[in-house]
Amino acid sequence: MNKRYWKSLALFLIALLALPAPSWAQGYTQTKYPVVLVHGLFGFDSLGPVDYFYGIASGLSSGGAKVYVTSVSAANSTEVRGEQLLLQVKQILAATGATKVNLIGHSHGGPTSRYVASVRPDLVASVTSVGGVNKGSKVADILIGAVPNVTYDLANALSGLISLLSGSPTLPQSSRAAAQSLSTAGTLAFNARHPQGVPTSACGEGAYQVNGVQYFSWSGAQPWTNALDAADPFLAVTSLAFNGAKNDGLVSSCSSRLGRVIRDDYALNHLDEVNQLIGITNLFETNPVTLFRQQANRLQGLGL
């Protein structure tokens, strides 16, 4: 009886080993195309030990994804940043032999990624907008009307310092051009030229796929999330610009929507969305690194 049992077990294990490997064995975040992360306004790839996408690149790569963190102007127009990103996408494709990339952009990185997908859809498999300024920001609207020229000069100096410290000292900076691009009027003009994935209704979903590129978005809607986060008081103040509408402190939930909307109401603020400051986020919400990992897995499931 025991001999028959062990023989049957051995045959079962041999048959099991002969089966194709299950999808999870390929790695939870292992996408077909490289994942390219794109930072927002006053962003960077890394400043010393601090990554803009804090812990996110490593969280994605640990599950099998090939991840690249790009560096574009900390402050400039969407088109200028978009051309800089396009050049880096071409370099990534040349280095990896891949034919397309999956772009994930935060804040101003959302429209920046959309620009590349619009002008070169053949190079992009998907665009994911995280807290993206897809229909403008009321904070930018207020700043354009209230900020004196000297403030733009100071912002340009800050942008230049950020780019210098992150290893990209030659990138041009224009805070005024950035503010105009992020304003309601600026994004309206941009969307007329690059409408792919943008909802046609005030707060709906956009086309899920355009010219072979798939579009996704998610965002937070809670400006104050952690008393230990030094950025939360600032975001709590800027959130007042939205007159009670759902927002993450800098972008309204409706403005963040693009393509397939995963969610627009996570209990996260604008910096929490990329696990900043240094991982101090809402303890009672899904960890931002997990959200990025889930999106990579979603792309994997779609063959991207």
Catalytic residues: 107, 248, 270
Which helix (H) or strand (E) covers residue 169, if one does? none
CB-based burial of residue 135 (10 Å sphere; 0-12 exposed, 13-18 middle, 19+ buried)?
A: buried
Cα gap 218→60, rounded to integer Å: 17
Residue type, 212: G
Q: If DSSP states are collapsed to H, E and C, what string results for 2-44?
A: HHHHHHHHHHHHHHHHHCCCCHHHHCCCCCCCCEEEECCCCCC
> Within a 10 A sphere around the Cβ of 2, how many other Cβ atoms?
6
Residues 6+ apart with CB under 8 A from 56: 37, 274, 275, 288, 289, 292
Identify the DSSP state of 212. Answer: T
Residues 6+ apart with CB under 8 A from 193: 118
Cα gap 33→125, rounded to integer Å: 8
Residue 108 token pair: 């101003």
* Torsions phi, psi for 164 (to 5 deg): -65, -50
Identify the DSSP state of 49. Answer: T
